Amino acid sequence: MQKNFFLLLIFVHLLLAISFLSDLPFWVMFTISFFLLSIAAVRFGHFDTKNLTISNTAIAILSGLLMYGLFFTGKICAELLFPIQMSEVAALYRKVQPQLTWHYVALFLIIISGEELFWRGCIQKMIEDSFENKLLVIVISSLLYMSANLYTFNPLFMLATFAGGVVWGTLYMWNRNILLTILSHLVFNLFFLVLFPIF
């Protein structure tokens, strides 16, 4: 692994720890964090991009809807199995739920694209340089994606981020187009946080 790989992991953990644990305004810090991570990803990553076609755009949209469906189903099951933990998840989502207009602008223009550029376009690509097994690459990158959300202290939320990492990591591995993972993530958050919020 390159030295930059480990420095980037330390960087993202530091930024998200500050975002979730400090008394600073969450949305300000979260937006700044992913703006900086986007810059780091552009500086150290090498993204695969292709022109968007009707077919691959449809796949990206459907994968975003699939993620929403998985989360919706998972929430129903978790409420039955882990009611106390789900109340903690709901409290966390109320904290990160966009409230102001600029929160939505930051979410859709900076944070979502920043997550995909950094985690799939940069970190996952770096892992691929060290491992040939594609499944192993997706699992490792998803575990690292999950680990950066450790500072929520919420196991169910971390499990959800792992699931997201697997879906978007697989989409990127399959199509080699970072634009599709960004679009899929946008569709997911549009339904999850705006159109039909689960919490």
Contact 26, 92 (CB under 8 A): no
Per-residue pLDDT for 176 more than 80? Answer: yes
Where in the sequence is the domain holding 168, given as residue range(s)? Answer: 3-195
pLDDT digits (tens, 9 = 90+) for 45-99: 888 888 889 999 999 999 999 999 999 998 898 888 888 888 888 888 888 889 9
Judged against a pLDDT cut of 80, whether residue 181 lies above it is answered with yes
Q: To 10 degrees, what angle do helices 26-44 and 3-21 make?
A: 170
Residue type, 46: H
Q: Which of 13-27, 74-88, 110-124, 131-145 has the lowest mean pLDDT?
A: 74-88
- Residue 48, CB-side half-sphere exposure with 13 Å CA sphere: 16
How far, in Å, CA of 157 to CA of 125, rounded?
25
H or E stretch including 123? none
Polymer length of the chain: 199
The number of domains in the chain is 1
Tokens of 44: 């150290």
Which pLDDT does position 16 carry in this prediction? 98
3-state secondary structure 36-77: HHHHHHHHHCCCCCCCCCHHHHHHHHHHHHHHHHHHHHHHHH
Q: pLDDT (tens digit, 9 = 90+) per residue, 2-32?
A: 789 999 999 999 999 999 999 999 999 999 9
Show the tokens assigned to 31: 């937006």
Do residues 108 and 189 make contact, with C-beta atoms less than 8 angstroms apart?
yes
Cβ neighbors of 37 (< 8 A, separation 6 or more) are 11, 12, 15, 114, 115, 117, 118
Instruction: Give Cα 96 to chain centroid, integer Å.
Output: 13
H helix intervals, 97-133: 101-106, 112-115, 125-128
